[in-house]
Amino acid sequence: MLFFTIGSIYKTQKYYVGFCDYSMPNPHITQLKSRFPDNFQPTLDTMETWITPSCVPCPENGQCGPYSELKCDQDYITSRPWYDFTFGLISSWLVCSLDTIRIRKVEQISKKIISLLAYRNANLDCGLCEDDYLVGLYENELIDLVVRKLRLNADFQSGEFQLLWQKVLPILKARGDLVFLEDDTDEQGENGFFVRSLSLSKISLKCKLKKLFADFIERFKWYISGFLLIVSFVGITYLKFKSLQRRHQLIAKLVVESLNKLEQQSKKFKKKEVEDPFLGKIHLRDYFLRDVKMSLVQKNEIWEKVSKRVEKNTNIQAKTAEVHGDILKLWQWTSNI
């Protein structure tokens, strides 16, 4: 019983002492002391000093008043210190602690807005859309989206959301990936500010690959151009070489076939199987090149090369004569081998 009595007196005295510069006398003790004679006053003063706790400095984040009154600044709330294990049974001075719930809500709202704007930017032209008003949102639109998605209707109706919003705005404006614009068409400011994101953090994998490819091309375009030029040169040179090689092979083949044909014609003439020992140069051309896919000009060019080789052969005699009313160049196999 004595313990609870002393505790009650200590709690009451602590309430009146409160914060430094705001201490008040305890009227109950003053009234009690007045009932004793003056010669008891020094003893009573000593007892009062013994049961009176020391005042505490006013917290930096609050405003203090008499009777242990404490009002905390914005973003701070009154709370009991962590070491108050009596849960208020024995009075302890209040302290100002950060409002972690409000801070958490501010962070949650900020992250949600940043994410929403980043997704809107990423979904249009892979984050490269130049139409700000197509990508961004007005302040009122942002508030509606955030309140709905984070279920902050109660905070919005109570007015708490406005306090949170005032804390969110500096965070948003400090970000380098957000651009704030003034809408000239909104003369009365009904929609608030306009903001868009430049962030590419939410673009799809397809867009990332396209951007990576575009950046690679831009960075190495001169090297790529040089490489393609070299490849093109080598490719064209190779194709020309193969074409020239095929032409030489065709010419060599035609020379051999022409000589064989002329030799057979000579043998058939000796056996009286044919009337003439010779064949027309132009007739041989049309005979051997009838299935070759090329223009007449190309056929003539090839056949001229074949003709030069055939006429250089010592077994061949070339002459010009009239055949069936046409002047033709004729080839004849003259060797008896």
Q: What would the pLDDT profile of 209-226 be if each residue is shown by its tens digit?
A: 988 898 889 899 999 999
> Facing residues of 323 across strands?
326
Q: Is 319 a residue whose pLDDT tops 60? A: yes
> Facing residues of 63 across strands?
71
pLDDT at 186: 53
CB-CB contact of 83 with 59 (8 Å): no
CB-CB contact of 198 with 118 (8 Å): no
What's the average model confidence in pLDDT over 137-149? Answer: 91
Q: Is 4 a residue whose pLDDT tops 70? A: no
CB-CB contact of 111 with 119 (8 Å): no
> Facing residues of 98 across strands?
76
CB-CB contact of 119 with 149 (8 Å): no
pLDDT at 84: 60
Residue tagged 């091309």 (tokens)? 217
- Rounded Cα distance between 65 and 72, Å, is 12
| Chain centre distance of CA 263 | 78
Q: What would the pLDDT profile of 261-309 be if each residue is shown by its tens digit?
A: 999 988 988 888 888 888 888 888 888 888 888 888 988 899 999 999 9
Q: Is 259 a residue whose pLDDT tops 70? A: yes
CB 19: neighbour CB atoms within 10 A? 22
CB-CB contact of 96 with 78 (8 Å): yes
What's the average model confidence in pLDDT over 194-215? Answer: 90
What's the average model confidence in pLDDT over 312-320? Answer: 89
| Chain centre distance of CA 316 | 78
Q: What would the pLDDT profile of 158-174 be if each residue is shown by its tens digit?
A: 888 888 899 999 999 99
Give Cα separations from 167 to 102, 137, 160, 193 (angstroms): 10, 19, 11, 16
pLDDT at 231: 96
CB-CB contact of 70 with 44 (8 Å): no
Instruction: Please state, rounded to an integer, the average pLDDT across all residues of the chain.
Output: 84
Tell me the pairing of strands 194-197 and 178-181.
Answer: antiparallel
What's the average model confidence in pLDDT over 223-252? Answer: 93
pLDDT at 32: 66
Q: CA torsion angle for 269, 273, 276, 277 (degrees, to 10)?
A: -20
| Chain centre distance of CA 219 | 17
Q: How does residue 190 score in pLDDT terms, banded at 50, 70 and 90? A: confident
| Chain centre distance of CA 310 | 71
Q: What would the pLDDT profile of 25-83 be if each residue is shown by its tens digit?
A: 777 776 666 667 767 677 766 776 777 778 888 888 888 988 888 888 877 888 777 65
pLDDT at 82: 64
CB 164: neighbour CB atoms within 10 A? 19
Label residue 307 exposed, middle or buried (CB < 10 Å: 0-12, 13-18, 19+): buried
- Half-sphere exposure in the Cβ direction for 185 (13 Å, CA): 3
Counted residue by residue, the chain has a size of 337
Answering whether pTM is above 0.85, one says no
Q: Which of 32, 36, 35 is nearest to 13 (CA)?
A: 32
**Domain locations in the chain?**
2-98, 102-207, 224-333
- Rounded Cα distance between 197 and 203, Å, is 12
- What backbone phi and psi angles, to 5 degrees, belong to 44? -65, -35
> Facing residues of 262 across strands?
none
Q: Which of 84, 10, 98 is nearest to 54 (CA)?
A: 10
Q: How does residue 157 score in pLDDT terms, banded at 50, 70 and 90? A: confident
pLDDT at 109: 93
pLDDT at 91: 52
Position with higher pLDDT, 39 vs 252 = 252
pLDDT at 174: 92
- What percent of the chain is predicted at pLDDT more than 70? 88
- What percent of the chain is predicted at pLDDT more than 90? 28
Q: Is 108 a residue whose pLDDT tops 70? A: yes
Q: Which of 116, 102, 124, 230 is nearest to 168 (CA)?
A: 102
pLDDT at 226: 94
